Structure 1
Amino acid sequence: MRELRPGVWHWQSPHPDWDEEQWWPELVSSYGVEVGDDVVLFDPLSVPDGLRDRATAVVLTAPYHERDARALGLPVHTPPADTWEDWVEKFGVDPDRVRGMESDDLAWLRAGEGPGEFHGLGAWPFGITAYAGREDNDLVLWLPSIGAIVTGDSLSNFGGGLDIQLGGRTHVTRADVAGRLRPLLELPIELVLPAHGEPTDRAALERVLS
């Protein structure tokens, strides 16, 4: 674990579900951020002991980034999981194959088996503002208190530098996502904290969205 600046920590861990058929690297990034009296964990996996003891909440950039969220036993703030209608729209799945099915992502939280809340776009707890990436539940989270965005898969580094990742979605193009995210450049962003890849800076964001 390293402290990027006072009260902002980054570490990487091997994802337990990774294998060589995956298009993303085995190591994934997690973050801890002091926000007032809280220490918030973003997309946490294998949280270092010293930080785990201080943590008060978990924030997820996407429902499929739950990682260690349930095991930590902390309140979880997250966008909602996909519905079967989402699968049809995003991936072009035959609706007759998936009609009525539910995602496994965060099923325990939907069932009330842990503390937490689902949030949409806009204002979240801890002064966060959520922006849509390639979809409304793969987010870019703006933290004005540290001048940083924490990004889900929509803006990640899968080995070739920070870039837009569509992940097989058929309902958007790269240009669509870039246009949706370009308003981020109006914010005083200094740090870009992706869930996949190393932390980077505003210059990298500007290159991606130019």
Structure 2
Amino acid sequence: MRELRPGVWHWRARHPDWDEQQWWPELVSSYGIAIGDDFLLFDPLCVPDELRERATAVLLTAPHHERDARQLGLPVYTPPADTWLDWVEKFGADPDRVRGMDSDDLAWLRAGESEGHFHGPGAWPFGITAYAGREDNDLIFWLPWINAIVTGDSLSDFGDGLDIQLGGRTHVTRDDVVERLHPLLDLPIQVVLPAHGTPRDRAELGLVL
């Protein structure tokens, strides 16, 4: 764990679902960021005790990034999980095979086990703005109080440097995602905080977009 700047913490942990068949690296990143009286955990996994004691909420860049959110017992702010119609659109799934099925992502939260708040792109609590990446539930968060973005899978480093990641989606191209994210370059971003990979500077973001 290290403090990148006052009130901004980064740490990495081995993802429990990782194996050698995965296309993404074993270690994933999480962040703890202070804003006023709140301390927010982004895509948290293996939260250090000193940060867990301060935490007031969990924010997920994508529903499949729930990681340790369930065990933390905090309010969770997240984009919604995929529906079976999303699987048809995103992956070309056969509608007759998936019709009516529910995603396992965040099933516990949707069942009311913890306090859940579901949001798409646009204005979020805590003064955050969310931008859609390869889809409306894989987001990039703009945090203006620290001039940083926290990015989900759409903009991450899966071992070959920071880049657009499509993850097998068939409904969108790399150029589509670049066009969608290009407005980020109009923001005074100083640091990129990806869920996969390590923090990067604005120059690397410019090379991608």
User: Which TM class, normalised by the smaller chain length?
Assistant: over 0.9
- Counterparts of 1:156 and 1:24 in 2: how far apart (Å)? 10
Q: Which residue of 2 aligns with 1:108?
A: 108
Work out whether 1:178 is the aligned partner of 2:178: yes
Alignment deviations for residues 125-155 of structure 1 (CA, whole Å, 9 cap, x no partner): 1111000000000000000011000000000
Distance in 1 of aligned mates of 2:97 and 2:156: 31
- In structure 2, the partner of 1:32 is 32
Aligned to 2:165: 165
Distance 1:48 1:206 in 2: 32
Q: Is structure 2 residue 54 aligned with structure 1 residue 75?
A: no
Listed one character per residue, the Cα deviations across residues 153-177 of structure 1 (whole Å, up to 9, x for unaligned) are 0000011110000000000000000
CA deviations 1:154-205 (Å, max 9, x no partner) are 0000111100000000000000000000000000000100000000011011
Identify the residue that residue 6 of structure 1 maps to in structure 2: 6
The equivalent residue for 1:136 is: 136
Contact 2:110 2:116 in 1 (8 A): no
- Residue 121 of structure 1 deviates from its aligned partner by 1.1
Aligned residue for 1:84? 84
1:116-155 equivalent positions in 2, closer than 5 A: 116-155=116-155
Amino acid at match of 1:95: P
* Separation in structure 1 between the aligned mates of residue 146 and residue 73 of structure 2, nearest angstrom: 26
Residue identity matched to 2:158: F
Offset of 1:120 from its aligned partner? Answer: 1.3
Secondary structure at 2:45's aligned position in 1?
coil
Write the distance in 1 (CA, Å) between the matches of 2:116 and 2:126.
14
When normalised by structure 2's length, the TM-score is 0.99
Q: Which amino acid aligns with 2:179?
A: G
Q: Distance in 2 between matches of 1:90 and 1:199?
A: 28
- Equivalent position of 2:15 in the other structure: 15
Q: Distance in 1 between matches of 2:145 and 2:104?
A: 33
SS class of match (1:126): helix
Aligned residues: 209
Percentage of identical aligned residues: 80
Query: What TM-score results when the alignment is normalised by the length of structure 1?
Result: 0.99
Q: Give the Cα separation in 2 of the matches to 1:70 and 1:179.
A: 34
- Deviation >3 Å, runs of 4+: none
Aligned to 2:62: 62
What is the CA deviation profile of residues 26-46 of structure 1, one whole-angstrom value per residue up to 9, with x for unaligned ones? 000000000111000000000
**C-alpha distance in 2 between matches for 1:11 and 1:189:** 21
- Match of 2:208, SS? helix
Residue by residue over 1:91-123, the C-alpha shift from the partner in whole angstroms, topping out at 9 and shown as x without a partner, is 000000000000000001111011121011111
